[in-house]
Amino acid sequence: MAENGTQSPTMPKSLEGHTIPQERLDVILPFVTALSETAVRIGDTLPLEADPADFIRVLESEGE
Amino acid sequence: MDLKTLSAVELAEAIRTRKVSSVEVVQDALNRLKAVHEKCNAVVSTDTEEALAAAKEIDAAIASGAQVGPLAGVPLAHKDMFDRAGKIPSWGARIRREKPCNEDNPLLARLKAAGSIQIAALHMTEFAFGPTGHNYVIGHARNPWDLSRIPGGSSSGSAICVAAGVVPAALGSDTAGSLRLPAAACNVTSLKPTWSRVSRAGAMPLSPSLDCVGPIARDVRDLALIMSLIAGHDPRDGSSSRRPVPDYLGLIDQPVDGIRIGVDERLIGEAHPEVQQRLEGAMKILERAGAKRVSVRFQDWRALDHMGQILQLCEVASEHGPYLRKRGADYGPQVRARMEFGHFIPGSDYVTALRARGTILSRVLTETFGNCDMVILPTLADPLPTIDELDVGGGPQLMNAIGRVILYTRPANYLGLPALTLPYPRESYLPNGFQIVGRPFDEARMLAVGRAYQKEVPGEVVHGW
């Protein structure tokens, strides 16, 4: 844990060997947190059966 | 005959009736291409000899009385992201495929079969991942109307060459606004089709959930002709729709009387006052053409944008992760910085963005499009910025700056909806444009609205090249 009580960012395995300067991490982390907050808020409204294939079904049902 | 001002439909007619030869038209286009590239950095590579040889063949075929296609002898040029047999597309980047392509992109093949002649591969933002025309690898592109201004991106060269009268039309792609933004910035038109309407096989992928290929042109009739040629199912792209393709050009003069155009005043209110004023002027023109104004509301535009970003950033991170780890220094600073974000987004958020898409689209079609046929929105939120103003590289202002440029465009990609961009009357302003966002697969009616608009505000070419 960092001193302020927040969890220290861990570099994901998918970026192993790639260096991200701290000043960019300072931009990335709050940005993706905001995206995550939206995803969680939207996710909370979805029925369990919501499926990625719904998109094609709705798109293709137009005009039928 | 001022060749640079003619549409593809008009050029094809002039060549077919031998008022001008294809060789003359192609040579004229090649001359202008060189001049425009010197000022605007619009071109990646040219096909001079192949193009002139093809033009000679077309002229000979016409002289012999042979049947020719609807674009016979017409020069086109396209964003350098499409496979071409024997060539390696640049993708606007240092990292490219290792071997030349085995075959042509199916859309290029269809356009070639219709008689068109590709004269060049055009500038694009690195990996099509940027909305302004900045490219830190092959150099920034410049706007032909004002060289200090951005031309928009990522299909920068396509919009520049159409605006400058090099070619009447060009293909580009749109993942978050990349057809619409350069079209607006360069004072031309474009159509981002419904997702799945046009094949993406043989085109560089950026974010397959969002990617669309479409045309840029000065004249909406050229958008319609090209859509008639490129739309439709392609076995090489399993996601492409099997719906029949309308005769877009044949339907373009259908009446638009009574078409209901939705206006979301709250959302439009986020644009610069000058943009709001110009949008209102465009809406009045559409009303004079017979459209009816109705009030609508997008319930949560910001959420649509966020969900689109999650899909885009995660898909880009997955595709480019291996290259970022091994060849990070080969990316330009802006694209490298943007590619990092997706690695920090939880997989569950990505799946949520995919699972929510049908539900959200259904809700938008019911609530926002419930009492309108299409919606009018700005394309760019602000008057056209300078290249220097948006030269933010990979710095801390990057996401805010880009987010403002694509404020009005990315949600249509998340929803999969078609969007037509048209230029405002230019008057004394810098170029800019608005978009008509339609219901799925409603491109024919949208093009008819665009045609009605262009009867009062015809397409323009930049003179002086």
Q: Is residue A40 part of a domain?
A: yes
What would the pLDDT profile of B100-130 be if each residue is shown by its tens digit? 999 999 999 999 999 999 999 999 999 999 9
Asked whether residue A5 carries a pLDDT value surpassing 70, the answer given is no
Percent of chain B's residues with pLDDT above 70: 100
Phi-psi region of B18 (alpha: psi -120 to 50; beta: other; left: phi over 0): left
What would the pLDDT profile of B50-64 be if each residue is shown by its tens digit? 999 999 999 999 999
Backbone angles phi, psi at B167, to 5 degrees: -135, 155
Percent of chain B's residues with pLDDT above 90: 98
Q: Is residue A48 less than 8 Å (CB to CB) from chain B?
A: no
- Nearest Cα of chain B lies from the Cα of A45 at a distance, in angstroms, of 9
- For residues B334 and B393, the answer to whether their CB atoms sit within 8 Å is yes
- For residues B108 and B380, the answer to whether their CB atoms sit within 8 Å is no
- Those residues with Cβ within 8 angstroms of residue B208's Cβ, 6 or more apart along the chain or in another chain: B200, B239, B315
- Nearest Cα of chain B lies from the Cα of A28 at a distance, in angstroms, of 6
- Name the closest residue on chain A to residue B360, using Cα atoms: A55
- Nearest Cα of chain B lies from the Cα of A52 at a distance, in angstroms, of 4
Q: What is the mean pLDDT of residues B21-31?
A: 98
Q: Please state, in angstroms and rounded to a whole number, the distance separating the CA atoms of residues B180 and B191.
A: 7
Is 0.95 surpassed by the pTM of this model? yes
The CA-atom distances, in angstroms, between B224 and each of B189, B214, B228, B239 are 11, 11, 6, 22
| Cβ neighbours of B347 (radius 10 Å) | 8
Q: What is the mean pLDDT of residues B78-88?
A: 98
- For residues B203 and B81, the answer to whether their CB atoms sit within 8 Å is yes
CB contact (8 A) between residue B325 and residue A36: no
Interface test with A, best of B304, B313, B340 (most A CBs within 10 A): B340
CB contact (8 A) between residue B358 and residue A62: no
Asked whether residue B146 carries a pLDDT value surpassing 70, the answer given is yes
Residues of A in contact with B352 (CB under 8 A): 39-40, 42-43, 46
CA angle B403, B404, B406 (to 5 degrees): 70
User: What residues does each domain of chain B span?
Assistant: 3-301+351-456, 302-350
- Name the closest residue on chain B to residue A13, using Cα atoms: B343
Residues of A in contact with B198 (CB under 8 A): none
Asked whether residue B96 carries a pLDDT value surpassing 60, the answer given is yes
Q: Which residues of B222-246 are buried (b: 16+ CB within 10 A; e: fewer)?
A: bbbbbbbbbbbbbeebeebbebebb
CB contact (8 A) between residue B341 and residue A52: no
Q: Which of A17, A27, A53 sits opposite B325 (nearest CB)?
A: A17
Note which residues in 408-437 of chain B have CB less than 8 A from chain A: 416
Structure-model confidence comparison of residues A19 and B37, the more confident one: B37
Residue B13 has what pLDDT?
98
Query: Which residues share a beta bridge with B234?
Result: B237
Q: Is residue B398 less than 8 Å (CB to CB) from chain A?
A: yes
Q: Is residue A13 less than 8 Å (CB to CB) from chain B?
A: no
Interface test with B, best of A33, A58, A61, A64 (most B CBs within 10 A): A58
At B402, which helix (H) or strand (E)? helix B398-405
Q: What is the mean pLDDT of residues B326-355?
A: 97
What would the pLDDT profile of B411-455 be if each residue is shown by its tens digit? 999 999 999 999 999 998 999 999 999 999 999 999 999 999 999
Fold entry, domain B3-301+351-456:
Amidase signature (AS) enzymes (3.90.1300)
- Nearest Cα of chain A lies from the Cα of B378 at a distance, in angstroms, of 24
Strands B169-174 and B212-217, by their bridges, are antiparallel
Q: Is residue A41 part of a domain?
A: yes
SS3 state at B26: helix
Instruction: Match 């801390």 to its residue by tokens.
Output: B396
If pLDDT is split at 50, 70 and 90, which confidence band does A9 have?
A: low
- Name the closest residue on chain A to residue B439, using Cα atoms: A62
- B272 secondary structure, DSSP code: -
| Amino acid, single-letter form, for residue A30 | P
| Amino acid, single-letter form, for residue A20 | I
Strands B189-192 and B169-174, by their bridges, are unpaired
Catalytic residue list of B: 79, 154, 178
3-class SS letters over B266-305: HHHCCCCHHHHHHHHHHHHHHHHCCCEEEECCCCCHHHHH
Q: Is residue B101 less than 8 Å (CB to CB) from chain A?
A: no
Q: Is residue A33 part of a domain?
A: yes
Q: What is the mean pLDDT of residues B328-341?
A: 96
Give chain A's domain count.
1
- Name the closest residue on chain A to residue B301, using Cα atoms: A38
Size of interface A-B (CB pairs under 8 A): 126
What would the pLDDT profile of B239-261 be if each residue is shown by its tens digit? 999 999 999 999 999 999 999 99
Interface test with A, best of B240, B343, B367 (most A CBs within 10 A): B343
Instruction: Match 């020719």 to its residue by tokens.
Output: B68
- For residues B81 and B124, the answer to whether their CB atoms sit within 8 Å is yes
Asked whether residue A1 carries a pLDDT value surpassing 80, the answer given is no
Domain that holds residue A33: 21-45
- Those residues with Cβ within 8 angstroms of residue B428's Cβ, 6 or more apart along the chain or in another chain: none
Whether the ω angle into residue B154 lies within 30 degrees of 0, i.e. cis, is yes
**Radius of gyration, CA atoms only, chain A:** 18
